[in-house]
Structure 1
Amino acid sequence: MMAFFWQGALLLSLAAATLVHADMKLDCRTDSVTLVWTESRSQADPSLFRLGSCFPTSFTDREAVFNVDFNDCNFRRMVTGDQLTYTNDLTYFSFPDSHILPISHPVVCAYERPKDWYPMIYDPVFNTYGQEALVFHIGLMNGDFSGPAESTSFPLGSFIPIMASVAQKSHQPLLLLLEECVAATTPELLPESSIYPIITNKGCLVDSKTSRSKFEPRQNSSEIHLSLQAFRFALGEEVFIHCKLVAWDPAGLDNTKKACHYNKDHGWELLDNPADSTLCDCCDSSCRSRWMRSTVSGTHGIIQKAVLGPLTITEGDS
């Protein structure tokens, strides 16, 4: 399937085929890579080389060969502007009593990003909801928000990167907000459900008052990135995060339609315009609009309920 996605992809800095770096030859293809390492140390054992988590595909007395897909070996995928890169590390593990020193060497394949990359890669791994010609997504991401998370297990105190988005299609430009998010141990919120509040009071990230949780700067108005610090709730159990996603008129922000997080030095801050942070002043009391608006849809926007999970928060390193 990757071959279909990447048909016609262009190599940039690694164009044309083969990169030679000292004892390493690297052949970057559309969805896979071949790496040949020729070992100059006579006492080294080529079978002890690893490309990420992968063992050599084959080896001789002097060479270790890897012929692997980017979906394997824990390759890291990153999009920066119009460039997409796959990175990994070639390592040599020596035994404790060996005089052969371990090594680590970066492996990088760079491509021009296809224009249709975003929906093809992300849609299958996100929870997707449709309403009134708008398509909402919510999902767990890797640490720099460049791709889906590789694990749904998060050690206590680490960050849980969450991205939500709305596909606008032909709709007017919309601002995506998280009006409310709570963690629970059930995929449906029930009266007896034990919950942990994350975002309350119409867009206030209340968890940020006691943690390092925060909204990340926006890449575009139709997405919102949340770095949520893993909290001490239902450790070791399945956790579901229940949210209300709001697609809203960018010009219609008020104290009930906003994204606020707590800055330890400056107090409550508005994500989209810190100079307008007075909209967040109600986060420690009650945020209410001065006039009535529809709670589901209307001229200003649409609200969509979504559930993310299950994920697991662990006591120690995962």
Structure 2
Amino acid sequence: MSSVVMALFWLCALLLGLAAAMSVYADMNLDCRPGSVTVVWTESRSHVDTSLFRLGSCFPTRVSAREAVFSVDLNDCNFRRLVTGDKMMYTNDLTYASSPDSLILPFSELVVCVYERPKDWYPLIYDPVFQTYGEGDLVFHIGLMNDDFSGPAESTNFPLGSIIPIRASVEQKTHQPLLLLLEDCVASTTAELQPESSIYPIVNNKGCLLDSKFSRSKFEPRKESSAIRLSLQAFKFALGEEVFIHCDLLAWDRSFLDHTKKACHYTKDYGWELLDNPANNNLCDCCESSCKSRRTRSTALGKHGILQKAVLGPLTITDVKS
């Protein structure tokens, strides 16, 4: 048995142990089916409001005085998928967000479904020019562009030190106008991020373009709020190999920007700058430490925005010396 599979085995054993040790006040029943899951939380405490439970981004399918039931598709609710060896694992968080005056403190429980990996399943090979991701009435796009961002890239090969133009956007249809942000981006040699994947951080700390501190990478001025353009300098990572760029795209209400909802890049003569309103550059001060919301209660993601994971690639960075 490989070390990865063994680690997965012990993780599952630990989760079963935690479930067995769950508080006597509640019980969680989990029914993992192909492509879907049913979670039933049964609560004996009268002070618990079962309508306040959430499974990832999903509200309960139905509630009663003592139960919160979720019957959902594994492609919904922001489930996380991890493929390891011959196993495919989906995880999510069942959370309880109590009101400020409640006697019950907020808490969360991990939901895990483990399946045998289908024999005909392989990591998706993503279109290197444009990829589309749907989320309700929003449609996200991410793609490689030509030098002036006027059209798709003609090549997916980039010499070390050259600029990789990337554009992400969101079609909002009937939705209220939203601002598109890159919350997190890393480069990897795999189309699916896995524990053993080698990564190169690009954007981190809730919207800080980390790579701009060490290169010519920068966010380009916006032409529209629903799109963001990134000029990324080709970095020395996995030279000559296929590279995938994994990003969290965030469509957000621009009225609620804070230290965790922003787009910041570093300029040599000034320091960290906010892309959308330099008058609020203080939102970027945390890029050198840890960016956390300074609101007494953080703004709910589902109310003011939607987060969508996206993968761009494969592309190849070549060594100009070779």
Provide TM-score, normalisation by structure 1. Answer: 0.59
Aligned-residue sequence identity (percent) comes to 76
Match of 1:250 in 2: 254
- Runs of 4+ residues deviating >6 angstroms: none
Match of 1:30 in 2: none
Match of 1:292 in 2: 298
2:181 pairs, out of 177, 180, 198, with 177
Provide TM-score, normalisation by structure 2. Answer: 0.59
| TM alignment of 1:13-24, pairs within 5 A | none
1:195 aligns with 2:199: yes
Q: Offset at 1:220?
A: 0.3
Unaligned residue ranges in structure 2 (runs of 5+): 1-126
| TM alignment of 1:268-307, pairs within 5 A | 268-290=272-294, 291-294=297-300, 297-307=301-311
Which amino acid letter does the alignment assign opposite residue 273 of structure 1?
Answer: N
Question: Matched residue of 1:192: which SS?
Answer: coil
In structure 2, what is the Cα distance between the partners aligned to 1:131 and 1:187? 20
Note if contact 1:155-1:317 (Cα within 8 Å) is conserved in structure 2: no
1:138 pairs, out of 142, 145, 153, with 142
2:215 pairs, out of 211, 214, 226, with 211
Q: Offset at 1:299?
A: 1.4
Note if contact 1:129-1:136 (Cα within 8 Å) is conserved in structure 2: yes
Q: Offset at 1:293?
A: 3.9
Total equivalences in the alignment: 194
Match of 1:148 in 2: 152
Which amino acid letter does the alignment assign opposite residue 270 of structure 1?
Answer: L
Which amino acid letter does the alignment assign opposite residue 185 of structure 2?
Answer: C
In structure 2, what is the Cα distance between the partners aligned to 1:124 and 1:207? 21
Q: Offset at 1:124?
A: 11
Larger radius of gyration: 1
Question: Matched residue of 2:208: which SS?
Answer: coil
After superposition, give the CA deviation of every residue in 1:13-51 in whole Å (9 maximum; x if it has no partner).
xxxxxxxxxxxxxxxxxxxxxxxxxxxxxxxxxxxxxxx
User: RMSD of the alignment, in Å?
Assistant: 1.6
Note if contact 2:165-2:229 (Cα within 8 Å) is conserved in structure 1: yes
In structure 2, what is the Cα distance between the partners aligned to 1:271 and 1:279? 11
| TM alignment of 1:15-54, pairs within 5 A | none
After superposition, give the CA deviation of every residue in 1:247-296 in whole Å (9 maximum; x if it has no partner).
000111000000000010000000001121000000000000133344xx
Which amino acid letter does the alignment assign opposite residue 135 of structure 1?
Answer: V
In structure 1, what is the Cα distance between the partners aligned to 2:237 and 2:283? 30
Unaligned residue ranges in structure 1 (runs of 5+): 1-122
| TM alignment of 1:108-127, pairs within 5 A | 125-127=129-131
Which amino acid letter does the alignment assign opposite residue 298 of structure 2?
Answer: M
Q: Offset at 1:298?
A: 1.4
Classify 1:317/1:231 alpha carbon distance in 2 versus 1 (closer, same or farther; 3 Å): same
